[in-house]
A and B are shown apart, each in its own frame.
Chain A
Amino acid sequence: MRKTKISNKIIFISLTFLTLLLYWYGKEIANYFDSKWLVKYPKHYSFPFAIYTTTFVKWLINEANFLLFTFNDLTRLFAWIIEQPYKIVLAIFSKGILRGQGQDAIQIIEPLSWISVVGIFFTLALYTKDKFLIILVVLSIVYLAVFDQWQSSMITLSSIIIAVPIGVILGILFGILSYKSKILEKIITPILDLMQTVPVFAYLVPILVMFGFGPVSALIATIIYAMPPMVRTTLLALNNIDPQLKESGLMSGCTERQLMWKVLIPVSKPTLLIGVNQVIMLSLNMVIIASMIGAGGLGYDVLASLRRLDIGGGIESGIAIVVIAIALDRLSQSFANLPTLSKKTQLTFYNKYKKIIFLLLYIISIYILGYFFTFFKFFPNELMINTSLFWEELVKYININYFDNLESFKITLLTFFMLPIKKFFLGIPWPWFIFVLTIIGWYFGKFKLALLCLVMSIFIVTTGLWEKAMITLYLCGSSVIIASIIGIPLGVWAGLNDRANKILTAFIDTLQTLPSFVYLIPVVMLFRVGDFTAMIAVILYALAPAVRYTAHGVRNINSQIIEAALISGCSQRQLLFKIKLPLALPEILLGINQTIMLALSMLVITALVGTRDLGQEVYIGLTKADIGRGLVAGLCVAFISIIADRIIKAGSNKLKNKYGIK
């Protein structure tokens, strides 16, 4: 035992040393042996994955034929199925019912007025019986009207109303299928891994090509993006059901279908509702991104403002998205936590549906009132508040007064922190990097993990994207380091102090409800474009899990262990550094892992502020509608995150096993 420990240490030290050596002298060595390929993977050896992918997708769309129908028919059918309910919802919330085409169309029935929508959300919130929530939700909806975001908000809301149920239903169905068949589970799990790690931008292009520019494409992208957690949640919930409960269903004489729909699914409902909440949040996260392929609504407003450099407008629409996100998040969370209480008496029809009946009457009367007073139809223009000027002035003010401070802060961090890291990643010869990575994989996960590391990193090299991948690593690495430096101490603080925990949790919950894109807006205002801006946005977005997991790890240490330490005479400080932190380490590692995952997904979005990493490659693929280019670069990003994820999880498990904690 001792012996292997020492030799591990020696290997570790010598690997580090060699790595540093190669980083400093790699170029010289390569030059000396006249083998430049060591530092730079030769272009003519790279495998044209991108071109093949493009060809394949094109073939799929134009020629693929399944005897009775073509692939194209299939995509059209999907599009049609999704389009129908979307049209209806859009008519209800935004467009009204029209007669005629295009410009000449006349509205014969108007969409729900803002007062009616407030009523709907008020009624929904009533079910939670949470006064604070009711006020929050109503204020949020009123906000949209007062701040002149109504039209766009309703378009966005309509797409959420369609995307979420479809995502949830498909997610539950796939979850059930993979629960029932081990083989299917084995197929679906890696697909889910890819769906969750391949950056969204990468599959926007194929969707665009298959379904055309427009809201339907946007919906499909949203559903693909938001569904995986629902599949996982469903599978997890079903697998965690007490086996006795299942047996009691069987012994009651259930058929397989009855068992599923009368026992397993209802029993899993609390967990499934958490999944629904996630689907909602992810759908909202897609709002801005989906507008790149035609979603319209608030997302489009943000994007357009950013392109025009219309700071105020961008912030206004961004805040509207945030408001919707917070309202929907809290609403769906409290539905998930709704207690079931005994029905001491049987409810009559009226009592059961009282709220809905009132709501319908309310909406009808608002309609009628709308004919007489426009106030009930439209929120009056005179009362609207326009904040875009205010935001613009604010940013101007900051930039005039603090420009020097911000700039010197930026330059300091760039020169002394980011650049060295960048040089490090770009300097190491790729064969050595792959070698070390494989060894690390071996150390933590034996053959399987080593193979995974090897194959995936070789894929990245042969695509010819190695350099871009290294830039991705550097950006991701710097962000994660800073996020950890900020996040872990905050987490420790929250773990030790109840008050801090409450405040930080509230703060982090809010941070996490914000769609990733929103983080870009203020950062661009302050730091303009470039790597630094990207890093700050990534840090903000990826900070939350570092704090949350650390707090959880510190908090959840067995209290008997702590008592034992105190009896042994530990001071508070010793307790923290000798007991709590080491024991929380596996959990902290998982937090860092989550931070890395979020950082990578955010990095792709920061391509918009001019990074030169894989994200940029994906984004170029999107703007040039080059399917292969985007997908292959996206796959590289996915592989990086899968490698990081597996290694860190294996490390965390290794530690947990060592300490014997579950």
Chain B
Amino acid sequence: MNKSPKLVCKNVWKLYGDKPKEFLQSHNYNPDKRIIEENGYIQAIRNATLEVYENEILVIMGLSGSGKSTLVRCMSRLVDPTVGEIFFENIDMGRLTKNELIEIRRHKMGMVFQHFALFPHRTVIENIAFPLEVQGINRAEREKSAMEIIDLVGLQGRENYFPKELSGGQQQRVGIGRSLAVKPELWFLDEPFSALDPLIRKEMQNEFLKIQNSLKKTIIFITHDFDEAIKLADRIIIMNEGRIVQIGSPEDLIMKPADDYVKEFTEDLPRERLLSVKSIMNNQKQPSNALTVYEDEKIFSILEKVLSEGSVSVIDRSNNIVGSLNRETVSRFINN
């Protein structure tokens, strides 16, 4: 993964209420949540700092009202942050003029919405071609591009339907298609699959991964659903009451939760299916055991081996011993 940041947020705050900027200033840019609420403000984002790397899938998680949507809307400048800076490809978004912002949205950003937000008065193809239409691209050309996207999202044959004639899953395919029409580099998805049935959701997640594999975009993806997060994420951000509580890989969150809130999030997960051997192994390189397991194997796949053998060596993919694992460690892991 290329580790250069595509988008950077620095100390971003968003308060709702009357004259929030002055309020923050008069409280030294660090008021208590209690003080904020006593003064009649709503704290939507509290001092968020983060980087989004090129081509990664960054998933934002948190309970309802924790500020996920607001954070993403600050990044796309649909919402102006109260204070703080946001850099997109090293450009300070706060300094952009209206027209520059429109230009960026026309060429570099796309967004998918939870409730699809399709234009009900436009057919599928007109919806998908809409971002091209507002750029002034002529009809033949934009419909040609739109048809390619219709193929990509699997809506062939439905291009002249109106949104209300489609199922939920199909509607979100249109939403995805529309957000991809301008070939964006930064792709926002705000709970894109939450409104769908579980089966369709699964299908759409796979489809989404397939699209990402061929397009390689930088993605910021909001979800409620930890399973979905694990399946898709390179890194996960956990938010609570407007604060970023933890940023890390799925394994980090499970193994080293920053606080009880994160722990609660990860508690009920089938951890043996999510974690690899590496995260619980013993670093002492015991002399070679007859039995070995790879460090990046998921724990559930080696359970039987360890429990029956008592102790195994852990090796990396080039067969160097990197640690060991015994029955006690594993049973303790399973039981808590």
Give the interface of A toward B (CB within 8 A): 242, 244-245, 247-256, 258, 262-263, 266-267, 269, 340-346
Q: Is the CB of A253 within 8 A of B162?
A: no
List B contacts of A255 (CB < 8 A). 102, 134
Q: Is the CB of A267 within 8 A of B119?
A: yes
B178 in complex: contacting residue of A252, A256, A344, CB < 8 Å = A252
- Cα A378 to Cα B122 in complex, Å, equals 45
Q: Is the CB of A244 within 8 A of B113?
A: yes
B157 to chain A minimum Cβ distance, whole angstroms, is 10
Q: Is the CB of B102 within 8 A of A341?
A: no
Chain B residues numbered 85-99 whose CB sits less than 8 Å from any CB in chain A: 98
Q: Is the CB of B105 within 8 A of A250?
A: yes
* Chain B residue nearest to A259 in the complex (CB): B134
Q: Is the CB of A262 within 8 A of B134?
A: yes
Q: Is the CB of A248 within 8 A of B105?
A: no
* Chain B residue nearest to A256 in the complex (CB): B98
- Cα A232 to Cα B188 in complex, Å, equals 35
B131 in complex: contacting residue of A245, A252, A341, A342, CB < 8 Å = A252
List B contacts of A258 (CB < 8 A). 134
Q: Is the CB of B160 within 8 A of A251?
A: no
Q: Is the CB of B106 within 8 A of A253?
A: yes
Q: Is the CB of B134 within 8 A of A251?
A: no
Do A266 and B134 form a contact, CB below 8 Å, given A247-B111, A253-B105, A341-B162? no
Q: Is the CB of B121 within 8 A of A248?
A: no
- Cα A341 to Cα B164 in complex, Å, equals 9
Do A247 and B113 form a contact, CB below 8 Å, given A267-B121, A343-B123? yes
Q: Is the CB of B160 within 8 A of A343?
A: yes
Give the interface of B toward A (CB within 8 A): 73, 76, 78, 98, 102-103, 105-107, 109-111, 113-115, 117-123, 130-131, 133-135, 160-162, 165, 175, 178-179, 181-182, 188
Q: Is the CB of A247 within 8 A of B119?
A: no
B148 to chain A minimum Cβ distance, whole angstroms, is 17
Q: Is the CB of A245 within 8 A of B134?
A: no
List B contacts of A249 (CB < 8 A). 119
Closest 8 CB pairs of A and B: A253-B106, A252-B131, A244-B117, A248-B117, A251-B111, A253-B105, A244-B113, A266-B121
List A contacts of B131 (CB < 8 A). 252-253
List B contacts of A242 (CB < 8 A). 115, 117
A16 to chain B minimum Cβ distance, whole angstroms, is 40
Most chain A CB within 10 A, of B115, B119, B133, is at B119
- Cα A143 to Cα B111 in complex, Å, equals 57
B36 to chain A minimum Cβ distance, whole angstroms, is 23
Most chain B CB within 10 A, of A248, A250, A343, A345, is at A248
B119 in complex: contacting residue of A245, A251, A253, A344, CB < 8 Å = A245
List A contacts of B175 (CB < 8 A). 248
* Chain A residue nearest to B136 in the complex (CB): A258
- Cα A255 to Cα B188 in complex, Å, equals 20
Q: Is the CB of A248 within 8 A of B182?
A: no
List A contacts of B135 (CB < 8 A). 253
Q: Is the CB of A251 within 8 A of B121?
A: no
B268 to chain A minimum Cβ distance, whole angstroms, is 30
- Cα A344 to Cα B161 in complex, Å, equals 7
- Cα A249 to Cα B119 in complex, Å, equals 9
A344 in complex: contacting residue of B121, B160, B182, CB < 8 Å = B160
- Cα A262 to Cα B127 in complex, Å, equals 11
- Cα A344 to Cα B162 in complex, Å, equals 10
A248 to chain B minimum Cβ distance, whole angstroms, is 4
Q: Is the CB of A269 within 8 A of B119?
A: no
* Chain A residue nearest to B165 in the complex (CB): A342
* Chain A residue nearest to B107 in the complex (CB): A253
- Cα A251 to Cα B182 in complex, Å, equals 10
Q: Is the CB of B182 within 8 A of A253?
A: yes
- Cα A251 to Cα B104 in complex, Å, equals 9
List A contacts of B107 (CB < 8 A). 253
Q: Is the CB of B120 within 8 A of A247?
A: no
Do A253 and B102 form a contact, CB below 8 Å, given A340-B162, A342-B123, A343-B123? yes
List B contacts of A342 (CB < 8 A). 123, 160-162, 165
List A contacts of B130 (CB < 8 A). 252, 262
A218 to chain B minimum Cβ distance, whole angstroms, is 36
- Cα A43 to Cα B121 in complex, Å, equals 62
- Cα A341 to Cα B160 in complex, Å, equals 9
A355 to chain B minimum Cβ distance, whole angstroms, is 21
Q: Is the CB of B160 within 8 A of A245?
A: no
Most chain A CB within 10 A, of B109, B113, B118, B123, is at B113
- Cα A244 to Cα B191 in complex, Å, equals 12
Q: Is the CB of B119 within 8 A of A254?
A: no
- Cα A251 to Cα B165 in complex, Å, equals 24
Q: Is the CB of B115 within 8 A of A251?
A: no
B289 to chain A minimum Cβ distance, whole angstroms, is 56
List B contacts of A248 (CB < 8 A). 111, 113, 117-119, 175, 178
List A contacts of B78 (CB < 8 A). 247, 250-251
- Cα A266 to Cα B119 in complex, Å, equals 9
Q: Is the CB of B109 within 8 A of A251?
A: yes
- Cα A267 to Cα B179 in complex, Å, equals 19
- Cα A266 to Cα B130 in complex, Å, equals 14
* Chain B residue nearest to A346 in the complex (CB): B160
* Chain A residue nearest to B122 in the complex (CB): A266
List B contacts of A344 (CB < 8 A). 160
Do A340 and B121 form a contact, CB below 8 Å, given A247-B78, A252-B178, A258-B134? yes
B241 to chain A minimum Cβ distance, whole angstroms, is 22
Q: Is the CB of B113 within 8 A of A253?
A: no
- Cα A258 to Cα B106 in complex, Å, equals 13
CB<8 Å pairs between A and B, sample of 7: A244-B117, A251-B109, A252-B105, A255-B134, A266-B119, A267-B121, A340-B120
Q: Is the CB of A251 within 8 A of B114?
A: no
B65 to chain A minimum Cβ distance, whole angstroms, is 16
- Cα A602 to Cα B196 in complex, Å, equals 53
* Chain A residue nearest to B175 in the complex (CB): A248
- Cα A245 to Cα B119 in complex, Å, equals 7
- Cα A149 to Cα B202 in complex, Å, equals 68
- Cα A565 to Cα B160 in complex, Å, equals 49
Q: Is the CB of A251 within 8 A of B162?
A: no
- Cα A341 to Cα B123 in complex, Å, equals 9
- Cα A267 to Cα B121 in complex, Å, equals 6
- Cα A416 to Cα B291 in complex, Å, equals 107
A249 to chain B minimum Cβ distance, whole angstroms, is 8
- Cα A245 to Cα B182 in complex, Å, equals 18
Q: Is the CB of A251 within 8 A of B161?
A: no
Q: Is the CB of B110 within 8 A of A251?
A: yes
A261 to chain B minimum Cβ distance, whole angstroms, is 11
Q: Is the CB of B102 within 8 A of A251?
A: no
A273 to chain B minimum Cβ distance, whole angstroms, is 12
List A contacts of B123 (CB < 8 A). 342-343
Most chain B CB within 10 A, of A244, A251, A255, A263, is at A251
- Cα A263 to Cα B123 in complex, Å, equals 13
Do A345 and B105 form a contact, CB below 8 Å, given A244-B113, A251-B179? no
Q: Is the CB of B134 within 8 A of A247?
A: no
List B contacts of A253 (CB < 8 A). 102-103, 105-107, 131, 134-135, 182
Q: Is the CB of A247 within 8 A of B117?
A: yes
List A contacts of B109 (CB < 8 A). 251
List A contacts of B161 (CB < 8 A). 342
List B contacts of A247 (CB < 8 A). 73, 78, 111, 113, 117
- Cα A269 to Cα B122 in complex, Å, equals 12
Q: Is the CB of A245 within 8 A of B121?
A: no
Q: Is the CB of A251 within 8 A of B120?
A: no
Question: With A247-B111, A251-B109, A254-B134 given, can you name 9 additional A-B contacts, CB distance below 8 Å?
Answer: A244-B113, A244-B117, A248-B175, A252-B106, A253-B135, A255-B134, A262-B133, A267-B120, A342-B162
- Cα A258 to Cα B109 in complex, Å, equals 18
List A contacts of B105 (CB < 8 A). 250-253
- Cα A253 to Cα B130 in complex, Å, equals 9
* Chain A residue nearest to B121 in the complex (CB): A266
List A contacts of B133 (CB < 8 A). 262
List B contacts of A262 (CB < 8 A). 130, 133-134
